[in-house]
Chains A and B, each alone.
Chain A
Amino acid sequence: MVSTAMTMSRNQRIERLRRAFPNEWLLIQVDRFDPHTTTPLTGRLLAHSKRPEPLEKQAARTKELAYLVFGSDTLPKGYAIAF
């Protein structure tokens, strides 16, 4: 299920948006971007979801630069990574 953000007009720091949804994927319209480090600085939350796929479909319809990110870099408890 995708939840459309209710705070479309509000720019916030990316880290603050991520902290608000630590267990979901976020699609953020990037407002300030540092091209020298490829780092998004601030943005507006467009939508959030437990799955990334619906957000990618929404990103395809977004004209501005969009950022797809999970709310946290922490793995679920008991998980480790070997890609």
Chain B
Amino acid sequence: MPSRSKVFSLDPNKSLIPVEVLLEGPKGRLLVHMALDTGATYTIVPVGTLRAIGYDPTASAARVEFIAAGSVERKPVITVRAAQAFGVRIPRLPVVCHDLPPQSPVRGLLGLNFLKHLSLHLDFPHRLLRIAK
């Protein structure tokens, strides 16, 4: 493990792995409670959150075929000015615009296109999440 690693608490009893994500856009920043998702190709951000920081997902020409549980849908892709999580800022991150179901306690998913920039170690027995860049 690199010496510059950071350690976070990890609760194996939670239904998901929560993570705070700071999204930056042309009209401002918004810190959003998301879930870490190693099964998501892209980081997923809802329409309302993208609008809050100055993007119009309906105007985006970029689209991706989005395979979700039980469906395949064509969704807009927006490249946000930057996304930051675990103290690591990734500029110009593409995100898929998709609303999670209303029962979800998180407002987005931090996916592989962000996580691939990190060394990520989920140590459930010791309840620790270690991050290094």
| Interface set of A (CB-CB < 8 Å, partner B) | 30, 33-40, 51-53, 56-57, 59-60, 62-63, 65-70, 72-76, 79-83
Contacts and interface: CB of A to CB of B under 8 A. Distances in A.
Nearest to A58: B52
Contacts of B44: 83
Given A35-B84, A35-B87, 10 more contacts: A37-B8, A38-B87, A56-B49, A67-B33, A69-B33, A69-B107, A75-B105, A81-B15, A81-B104, A83-B35
Contacts of B18: 73
B107 A60 contact: no
Nearest to B98: A83
A57 to B, nearest CB: 7
A79 B103 contact: yes
A59 B87 contact: no
A53 B48 contact: yes
A75 B16 CA distance: 9
Interface string B14-41: 1110101110000111111101010110
A35 B82 CA distance: 14
Q: Which 9 pairs between the two chains have the least Cβ-Cβ distance?
A: A56-B48, A69-B33, A67-B31, A60-B52, A70-B105, A36-B87, A59-B52, A56-B52, A53-B48
Contacts of B35: 81, 83
- Name which of B21, B40, B51 has the most chain A CB atoms within 10 A of its CB: B51
B51 A56 contact: yes
